[in-house]
Every structure is written in structure tokens, then in C-alpha cells.
Structure 1
Amino acid sequence: MNDIPSPHDRDLPPGRHQALREHLMREIETGDGAEAAHGTRPPVRPARRLWRRPAFVAPAVAATLTAAVVVGATFTQNAAAPPRPGVDTATGRRGVAPSDESAAKLLERIAEAAGRRTLPAIRDDQFVYTEREDYHWKVDPERSRTTCASTDEGHFFGVRETWWSVDGQHVGLSREHKDNGKVVERSVAKQLRAKNNVNFYREAEDELPTDAGEMYRYLYGLKSAEQPSGEKTADRDAFEKASALLTGQLLPPKVEVALYLALARIPGLTVYEGTEDAVGRTGVSIGMDGTFPRDFGQDRTRHELLFDGRTLAFLAQNAVNLDTPDDDCEVLEAGDLVSSVAILERGVVDRTGQLP
């Protein structure tokens, strides 16, 4: 039922081992001080001051998908890290390389693979189970008292399991796994159908197009006779809407096929090999470069959809910083993850708390 590979060898992005890093930095600083005192090496340049970015705000579709959960602020961890050696200057990330394959051709192959996958008969009283890892960088709060602009962040971070009612008429469950080992459970209220949004599986089945042309118009918000404006912002918004559908809910196979074929028609997409998500899985990605409103203080970023290189199953959605720091308030290097939503497992179960 689930083609998503389990996360192996979690070579996590910057910020996931904060305590270890701080301990290491203390050891380094201690050693540097001793060496400088004996004249064996010059003192190191002070670390850049760190700017705490505003909170991650998902697109309208994703916001609606999660609106039923009573969300408490979950704070992300420090993403500041020294530059990494061996980074590919063309992509900003080590091991990531542009592919010769066009995005349209790859998406056609992804659609074909999705069309071969099937789901069992799903009952209204069942639940869609999703396990996902949310990552968003932030600075260490103890180091954030600087002259740089600073705001609080309050978005999901870490592993979260959800059980969404198939028909929206049953109370679901959200289970958040905190970094301190604490597990927080909250009920997910019954869902209502909403115009232009998808809250649960039956609604996706009933409301989302299964024809590629209709899905294309849905992503762009077009009426039947309208054509896209040609503006890059319209292409960006259509790509973001598709990303929100993939990360937010289990999609019926025919809907998923139509979505990939519609994505293939969006201009400005590029293919990269060796892309990595928040849990260290690598695969092939389809990305769009630009300035995205939900990245706030970031300048240029690439938003990517990551797929397993073998099965072509959807794995994650990434936002990657593309610019090098241009002042002391900038922290992320080119290639650092701004955010990532990694789908670890999905399936259909009979009750909340049950695993596929």
C-alpha cells in the first residue's frame, strides 16, 4: 500500500543536532583560545550574527488541510552551520546535479508510475494515516539577541502522525513527537466541505479533477475559457498549489496522475538528481526557482518536489536557499534547507492510533 521508502541513515540537515553542535563549538572555542594564547594560530573570525526568520506559513490549500488540528507552537532548531566543503557551485548542494531530462518527461514517467499503483476499497468510517517530518530552520534562541531583525516562529517541526477521517464525519487524531521525547495528542474535529479546498479523502475523490486539462485549470484557478496570464507569479502559485495537495492528503490514484500531467505543463521547472530531504533520503526532484512569499526574509529559493529515484513515489517538498549571505544578518548558505515536509508513510486504517 505504501511505496514510500523508510528513512535510512538520517544524515539530517543543519540544525537537527543542536546540543551536540553547541558542545562541539564550546570545545573548539576552548581549543582556539589556548592555541591563540600560545601564538600557534591566529584567532578565528567571530561567527556571523544570526537572524531569526518569520514563521513558515503554508499556502491556502495546505492551511485548510491542517485547520482542524488545534495547533500549538512547535519551535524549530538552529540551522546555522559552517559552509560545507565540496558543494556543487551549480546547485549549491553537495551531490546535487542538474539532469538532462526535461521536467515534462520526468513528470510523465511519474504519472505513469502513479497510474500503476492501486488503493484497496476505502470505507467512509476509515482513516487516512500519515507520518511526516516537518523541518524549518531557525537560530538558537540563546544566540538570537542581536541587532538583526527577529521574530518568533510557530510552525510544525519534527515527526507528526495524523489520522484523518475518510469522509470527514469522524473525529481524527494528531500525534506530535517532541524533541524531548514527549508525545502530544490532539483530536482532529469533523470536517466540512469547503469551496476550492480539500479537507479529506472523499472530498478529494469528489472534487478534484481526474483529467489533466481540468487539473491544469484548477491549479491556475481558471474558468473553462480562460488562459493563464503568463506571469511567473501565476506559475509559482500553481506549483505551490500542487505541492500542497501532495503533502496534505492521500490522493486518489487518478487524481494524482492528473496532477503530475498538469504539473508537466507548468513552465520554468527544472530537474535535479541527488536531492535530499529533511530525513536524508535522496532522489530526483522537480523544482522552481524564484521568490516565494511564504519564505519571507529569504531572497531566492528553489521549491522542489522530491521523488524516489526507483519507484518515482512522492517523498517530500523542499524549500532551498539559493543565495550566499550578503551581510552579518544572513545565516543560510546557498543550498541549505529553509524548510522540508517529508512524507514518511501513508495508508488507510480502521481506527485512530492504528498503524498501516
Structure 2
Amino acid sequence: MDELQLIAERTGSVPFAESGALARARARLMAEIAAAETENAVPPRNRRRWAWTGAGVLGLAAAITAVVALAPVEQVGLEPPAAAADPVTVLRNAAVAALKSPATPPRPDQFLYTKTKQSDGERESWRSADGTHDGLIKMADGSSFPLPGCRNGRAQAYKGGGPLKGVTEPCAPSPAHRADLPTDADAMFAYLNADHSGHDGDFNAMGKDVLSLANESYLSPEVRAALFGAAAKVPGLRAIGHTQDAAGRPGVGITWPLRPGDDPKVAKPVVIVFTADTFQFLGTNSTAVTASGVVDAVGQRP
């Protein structure tokens, strides 16, 4: 019997445990080794180091499997590496990672700062947490666009980049802090499918909405996890084992399905990129989130 092959077969479908979880499993492994040596007792001078047969090999393989698999997926945050080629597994891992992220919701008077890397340079935005304060977008070419806050159903009107004195227009607040979103993947899927830019079943439009929320909105860990869990329910997703975001950072990618009628030879699907080891969201192959955080005023950076 090939011991290494047996061990590989036993451990190939389980994730690695965190270092803090190994001590107890190491003790179990050594106990299995001692038991195997006792059961297959051989005079010391004739015994080869690391030579076990029969039940001893099975005990060793079981013990090593326990070492590798001791920490459950919910604690480790990763599923088996081989499953990285499965888009559903990637997104579920991203949901687990999101649940572990710190929860630091902004105050209503604060702003969500986001810096993104795009093909034409870097873009910065300051979005009002509650949507009632004036924010700003700074483009790569140095130009800026105001994000007027909506107060009492009215917002400052602009023309040519400048405010029109004394002129307001109807509005609805567009808060950066999305405390109104579902925390359940099924409910999030229903919300995205029914309430946003596309019609029911328009998964390409849903993908744009997922990216919009993930890029420049503050989402609680539960809401962000639900967002990635809802994305995992979209048919036609494809995983790319090795890719990079717009900033050149390597990761694992998910491609969104094209719209019906799109020519796959011409249309290039957006690739949503996550780190390959921790499954943190990085951005896409065209827009990468390189910095984000909560600040007290427009122009500040975390």
C-alpha cells in the first residue's frame, strides 16, 4: 500500500487548519503513531523509522486528516483549494470572509471615502453616509463632480459643474450606508432581481448592481455576506483560477454572464476579483478598490 497516496486521498478534499488549532490535533497524531507502533511491535533494531503497515497506516492517515480538517470551514474561512474553480464556492468563501470583517458603521454626518484604480487613472469619492450631506467625486483628470445632499426632498441644482444660485430640484437621499438591505442571501437575491436597474431575470444588470453596492457603499458584514451569497445564485457564472484586478493585484475571479444576444467574441465579461487566500473583495478587472474608509469631511482620507 502506498502510504503517501492514501494520505493524499484522505486530505485532498479538506482545508488547512489555522495554526492555533493544530496543537490538539498534533497530540492526537502522536497518539495514533504510538498506538500504531504498539500494535505492530517490531524489535527496535529491525524497525524502520516511519514504517507502518495495515491498521497503522490507516490510523496515521486518519490522524493527519484530523490535523488538516480540525478547524471547520466557518472558522478557517476557506473551502478546499481545488474548489476555487467553482464560482459558487468562491462566492460562498467571500461571504464567509465578509462575515469576519469588522463592523464600524459610520455616523449619519460622516462620509464613505473610496479610491478606485481605473484604466484612465485613480478616482476618489466621498459619499454622505445618510445621503443628506454634500459629497464629491474627483476624477483621474483632476475634474470634480458634486454629489449634492438631499434634504427635505430637495437638493442643490447644478449646471456646468457649478451650483445654480437659489435653485433646487426634487430628490431622494442616496445614502452610502445601506442599512436598509437584506441580511439573507435569498432575500437579497429577490431584492436585486426586482428592485434595481434591470427587469426580472436580467442577471447582467444585477451584476452591475452587485458591483455598485460592493464598490462604493458601506455594508454591514451581514449585508455584504448576503450580497455575495445572492450573487452565487446567478446561473451562468464562471470562475477563473488566476487573474488580476485593475491595480494588478492577483486573485481568483468570477465572470458574470453576458446579456442575451451578446457576441462572446466581441463582448468581454466583467471579472469580479477576490484574493485567492482570504477571498476579500478587490474589485474587477477594470475597476479596483485600492482604499476605503469612513471620514468626517469631504477631502479627508482614512
Alignment of 1:136-215 (within 5 A): 157-178=120-141, 183-191=142-150, 199-202=174-177, 204-206=178-180, 208-215=181-188
Q: CA RMSD in A?
A: 3.0
- AA aligned to 2:121 is G
Q: 2:84·2:252 contact (CA, 8 Å) conserved in 1?
A: no
- AA aligned to 1:300 is A
Alignment of 1:327-338 (within 5 A): none
**Bigger shift: 251-260 or 295-304?**
295-304
3-state SS, counterpart of residue 179 of structure 2: helix
Give the Å deviation of 1:255: 1.0
Q: Deviations over 1:208-251 (max 9, x none)?
A: 111111101112117xxxxx97xxx6333333322222223232
Q: Partners of 2:263 and 2:296 in 1: how far apart?
A: 40
- AA aligned to 1:313 is Q
Q: 1:289·1:300 contact (CA, 8 Å) conserved in 2?
A: no
When normalised by structure 1's length, the TM-score is 0.50
Matched with 1:255 is: 223
In 2 relative to 1, CA 261–100 (structure 1 residues): closer, same or farther, beyond 3 Å?
closer
Q: Partners of 2:129 and 2:249 in 1: how far apart?
A: 29
Q: Partners of 1:252 and 1:219 in 2: how far apart?
A: 17
- AA aligned to 1:214 is A
Unpaired stretches in structure 2, ≥5 consecutive residues:
1-81, 154-171
Q: Partners of 2:284 and 2:265 in 1: how far apart?
A: 17
Aligned length: 199
Q: Which has the larger radius of gyration?
A: 2
Matched with 1:315 is: 282
Q: 1:168·1:199 contact (CA, 8 Å) conserved in 2?
A: yes
In 2 relative to 1, CA 186–242 (structure 1 residues): closer, same or farther, beyond 3 Å?
closer
Give the Å deviation of 1:134: 2.4
- AA aligned to 2:290 is L
3-state SS, counterpart of residue 302 of structure 1: coil
Matched with 2:90 is: 106
3-state SS, counterpart of residue 297 of structure 2: coil
The yes-or-no answer on 1:346 pairing with 2:285 is no
Q: Partners of 1:176 and 1:240 in 2: how far apart?
A: 20
Q: 1:291·1:299 contact (CA, 8 Å) conserved in 2?
A: no
Higher relative contact order (CA 8 A, sep 6+): 1
Aligned match for 1:303, one of 254, 261, 270: 270
The yes-or-no answer on 1:219 pairing with 2:182 is no
- AA aligned to 1:119 is A
3-state SS, counterpart of residue 149 of structure 2: coil
When normalised by structure 2's length, the TM-score is 0.58
Q: 1:129·1:349 contact (CA, 8 Å) conserved in 2?
A: yes
- AA aligned to 1:114 is A
Q: Partners of 1:217 and 1:175 in 2: how far apart?
A: 33
- AA aligned to 1:351 is A
Q: Partners of 1:121 and 1:300 in 2: how far apart?
A: 38
Q: 2:85·2:241 contact (CA, 8 Å) conserved in 1?
A: no
Identity %: 32
Q: Partners of 1:240 and 1:186 in 2: how far apart?
A: 21
- AA aligned to 1:175 is K
Q: Partners of 1:297 and 1:258 in 2: how far apart?
A: 29
3-state SS, counterpart of residue 118 of structure 1: coil
Greater helix proportion: 2
